[in-house]
């Protein structure tokens, strides 16, 4: 009798079950009749509770706020800030919502989003998240890198090795953003070698190489699958080795976006034809798949499942 494969888990919350539960409770289909009509508590209360219990874990907090801003009905954060206009958590979440949605050519919307970010920095002076919201707004408005770096520095000063800060600047420095390939690759390498042992920033050069692959694929889709970001060149081998040695093999405590990083590492190892080293990474992932970077390949879910089943002996 054939065993049925367990379904893949592809979800914005990754492996964060409390975040997933909050999103499920407030999913848009439940907001069709007056946004919480008939509720005995404010519609935003589950979000407030989640962020309150997250505390000063800046890594987990930033991940949760970013996902909530993208996935919750916008009216949830609108209602929260209307009910609690000075609540720091409400301001930070609303800043993320507005910076994600403000059209770059709508000057009034951009100014409003910027104002919200600055209000959030005042309400939560120790929190790096409002500065990252402002950095995202600058990215969408194509502000030059040299003018964005001071904002990034504000976030780094508050949480020196916060994964999200480095990945957001990496996106800024990408040729698909507002930078160049040399700037992106050099930034990623310098951050990786300076980061503490066990930091997920050891994976940043591999993430940059994936970004390079996406850039090349956008420029020349036909030839990019073969060339694929040259995963076997000496520097790429060194980057993957660094990620394995300084992060994956370091037995560091899991961070909020570990699932994302494990997918990037598994992808890189399979592209580099290192299946034996990919196997423990895929076993740690289990059913958790992220669309990116597998969506750089023609059949992402099928490819991930092939390597995952090979690693687990299915």
At 273-286, the pLDDT tens digits run: 999 999 999 999 99
Percent of the chain topping pLDDT 90: 84
- Structure confidence at residue 4 as a pLDDT band (50, 70, 90): low
Does the structure show a pLDDT above 70 at 271?
Answer: yes
Does the structure show a pLDDT above 90 at 45?
Answer: yes
201: phi then psi, degrees, rounded to nearest 5: -70, -15
Instruction: Map tokens 């919350």 to a residue.
Output: 13
Beta partners for residue 9, in sequence order: 288
Does the structure show a pLDDT above 50 at 1?
Answer: no
| pTM for the whole structure | 0.93
Does the structure show a pLDDT above 90 at 222?
Answer: no
- Give the pLDDT score at 229: 60
Quote the distance between the C-alpha of residue 89 and its chain's center: 19
The closest of 252, 271, 264, 268 to 288, measured between CA atoms, is: 264
- Residues 114-125 have a mean pLDDT of 97
The DSSP annotation for 228-271 comes to: TT-TTSHHHHHHHHHHHHHTGGGTPPP-TTHHHHHHHHHHHHHH
- Give the pLDDT score at 230: 84
For 169, the token pair is 């600047």
- Give the pLDDT score at 40: 72
Give the integer Cα–Cα distance in Å for 73 and 101: 12
User: Within the chain, what is the greatest distance between any pair of CA atoms?
Assistant: 63
For 41, the token pair is 């508590």
Q: Give the other-Cβ count within 10 Å of 28's Cβ.
A: 14
């Amino acid at each position: 009798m054939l065993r049925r494969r367990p379904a893949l888990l592809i979800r914005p919350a990754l492996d964060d079950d409390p975040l997933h539960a909050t999103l499920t409770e407030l999913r848009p289909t439940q907001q069709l009749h007056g946004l919480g009509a008939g509720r005995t508590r404010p519609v935003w209360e589950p979000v407030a509770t989640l962020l309150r219990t997250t505390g000063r874990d800046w890594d987990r907090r930033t991940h949760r706020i970013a996902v909530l801003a993208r996935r919750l009905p916008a009216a949830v954060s609108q209602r929260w800030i209307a009910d609690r206009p000075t609540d720091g958590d409400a301001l930070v979440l609303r800043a993320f919502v507005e910076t994600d949605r403000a059209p770059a050519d709508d000057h009034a919307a951009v100014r409003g989003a910027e104002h919200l970010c600055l209000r959030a920095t005042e309400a939560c002076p120790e929190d790096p998240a409002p500065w990252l919201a402002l950095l995202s707004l600058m990215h969408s408005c194509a502000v030059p890198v040299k003018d964005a770096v001071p904002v990034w520095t504000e976030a780094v000063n508050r949480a020196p090795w916060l994964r999200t800060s480095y990945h957001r600047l990496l996106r800024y420095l990408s040729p698909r953003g507002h930078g160049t390939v040399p700037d992106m690759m050099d930034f990623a390498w310098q951050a990786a070698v300076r980061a503490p042992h066990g930091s997920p920033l050891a994976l940043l050069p591999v993430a940059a190489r994936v970004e390079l692959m996406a850039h090349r694929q956008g420029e020349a889709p036909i030839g990019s699958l073969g060339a694929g970001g040259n995963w076997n060149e000496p520097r790429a081998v060194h980057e993957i080795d660094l990620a394995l040695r300084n992060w994956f093999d370091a037995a560091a405590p899991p961070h909020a976006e570990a699932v994302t990083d494990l997918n990037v590492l598994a992808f890189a190892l399979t592209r580099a034809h290192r299946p034996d080293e990919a196997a423990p990474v895929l076993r740690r992932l289990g059913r958790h798949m992220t669309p990116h970077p597998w969506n750089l390949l023609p059949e992402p879910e099928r490819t991930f499942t092939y390597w995952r089943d090979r690693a687990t002996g299915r």
